[in-house]
Amino acid sequence: MTAASPEHTATATAAVEACGYPSSRRAWIMVAILMVAYVISFIDRQILNLLVAPVRRDLQISDTQMSYLLGLSFALFYTVCGIPIGRLADVRSRRGVIAVGLVFWSLMTAGCGMARSYLSFLLFRVGVGVGEATLSPSAYSLIADSFPQRVRATAISLYSSGIYIGSGLAFLLGGLIVGFASAQGDLVLPLLGAVRPWQLVFLLLGAIGLVFSLVILAIREPLRHGVGAGVEVPLHDAMNWFRANRRTLLHHHVGVGLVSFAAYGGAAWVPSFLIRNHGWDVPSVGIVYGGITALFGSAGIVFGGRLADRLLKAGFVDAGMRVCLIGALLALPCCLLGPLMASSDLAVLWLMPTVFGLAMPFGVAPAAIQDIMPNALRSQASALYLFVVNLIGLGLGPTAVALCTDYLFGDDLAVRYSLALALPTALAVASLLLATGLPHYRASVERLKTWRPSAAPPSPVPSP
């Protein structure tokens, strides 16, 4: 294959800009900035998974109470607040919404480092969830308006790789920082006084987020594209459209939500599984599990996006949802066998395809929603998707594993059996929902071709 000439590249860029999209360079820079913001959000969100033992010790709480900090307190407000924020992003500056949210969640992350009680920690985690609710609905809409459909899944998957880069860095850097800070003992900081090593981690992360919020201002808002672009859709029209596509949304959202259940349930308790059942220390878990998460998670999510774009080019209009199904089927046997391995080497080996398969849906799933929604509903639809997926995944996944450990098995060492029970069960149901939802998704693709908002003229911007 020969490299494209400068003239050919310039012609392609001019053609994209003629359709109203930003230049390729500007669009990919925007994706990179948004991905870094996503990385920061996931480090802030996931770092607590590595700090279960010291936080439990200092706050004197159980696994179940810890699971509320890991998932439910964050997820409940992240999902509920995402819906009105998504509607705001459909009619206001998406860049501005993200910048304000980043400042807020960074302040709340720093607040976690100053928490002295379970209740105060819980409230700060709620604040982190509210702030982070601004990011993905706005980002999905920005990316959808910056790329034509033929590469949209790849672009959103690259942004979504921030999930696994951030999670991996949370484990990797968190393990190193905790190992270093623990060797130094408690630190005394100006104004704050004595802080534990785990508190220092949150304070540092909050400061990083505040600094990066200035970079968000470098993003330029693209023109809105597609059916309904530039139209503010009345709430009743939005509700009617969601109702018309309810079967697609039910199968898609709940199916991906159950994959998320397995992903978040594993991310929350695999570190404790390695520590409790295989005698690893926190720095070792951070380096190994963080590396696997960053490498295989990022590879899985980008592979899923590329596969979806190739399937779409081959004529599969349900490509995004189809890739979600493939990922769930790949991960199912792996997350059953991994926790049951007697050897930590074998357990870690099974983690690699598990993380890869679980990652595949998380770029293509939101891209699939963009492709069946009028432009004026994209952020709201993304917020609804995130509401369901995170309420099931982040809200219930960590708690379900903890409940099995505390009440079904009644033994901290039984976390391996909790993982082997809860995660494959969720993936089996997810696979069934995604497989039976494919015809409904194809119907939604056709339905979009006839959509028109009431009391508003057709969009002057052509569909990509």
Phi, psi values for residue 264, rounded to 5°: -75, -35
Helix (H) or strand (E) holding 388, with range, is helix 378-403
3-state secondary structure of 92: coil
Distances 139 to 267, 339, 368 between C-alpha atoms, Å:
24, 35, 15
Per the structure block, which two tokens stand in for 311? 């399937």
pLDDT in tens, 364-395: 999 899 889 887 888 888 888 988 998 899 88
Task: Domain 22-222+233-445: give its CATH code.
Answer: 1.20.1250.20
**What confidence score (pLDDT) does residue 181 get?**
62
Instruction: Report the C-alpha gap between 87 and 366 in whole angstroms.
Output: 16
Q: Any residues with CB less than 8 A from the CB of 444 and at least 6 apart, and which?
A: 245, 248, 372
**Annotated domain spans of the chain:** 22-222+233-445
Instruction: Fill in the amino acid letter for 96.
Output: G
Helix axis angle, 162-184 relative to 344-359, nearest 10°?
A: 140
Pairing relationship of beta strands 193-195 and 187-189 according to DSSP bridges:
antiparallel
Instruction: Report the C-alpha gap between 82 and 130 in whole angstroms.
Output: 8
pLDDT in tens, 302-323: 999 999 999 999 999 999 999 9
- HSE-CB at 414 with a 13 A cutoff on CA atoms is 15
For the whole model, what pTM was predicted?
Answer: 0.76
Instruction: Report the C-alpha gap between 346 and 420 in whole angstroms.
Output: 15
pLDDT in tens, 268-298: 899 999 999 999 987 888 889 989 998 999 9
Q: Choose from 17-21, 259-263, 450-454 the range with maximum mean pLDDT.
A: 259-263
Instruction: Report the C-alpha gap between 264 and 331 in whole angstroms.
Output: 13
Instruction: Report the C-alpha gap between 96 and 377 in whole angstroms.
Output: 18
**What confidence score (pLDDT) does residue 463 get?**
36
Min mean pLDDT across 38-47, 186-195, 306-315 is at 186-195
pLDDT at 348 over 60: yes
- The CB density around residue 315, as the number of other CB atoms within 10 Å, is 7
Rg from Cα positions in the chain: 22
Helix axis angle, 415-448 relative to 319-337, nearest 10°?
A: 170
DSSP, residue by residue, 125-177: HHHHHHHHTTHHHHHHHHHHTTS-HHHHHHHHHHHHTHHHHHHHHHHHHHHHH
Nearest to 140 by CA among 150, 152, 151, 128: 152
Instruction: Report the C-alpha gap between 377 and 141 in whole angstroms.
Output: 9
Quote the Cα angle for 305-71-280, to 5°.
85
pLDDT at 456 over 50: no
pLDDT at 210 over 80: yes
pLDDT band for position 67 (cuts 50, 70, 90)? confident
Q: What is the mean pLDDT of the chain?
A: 86
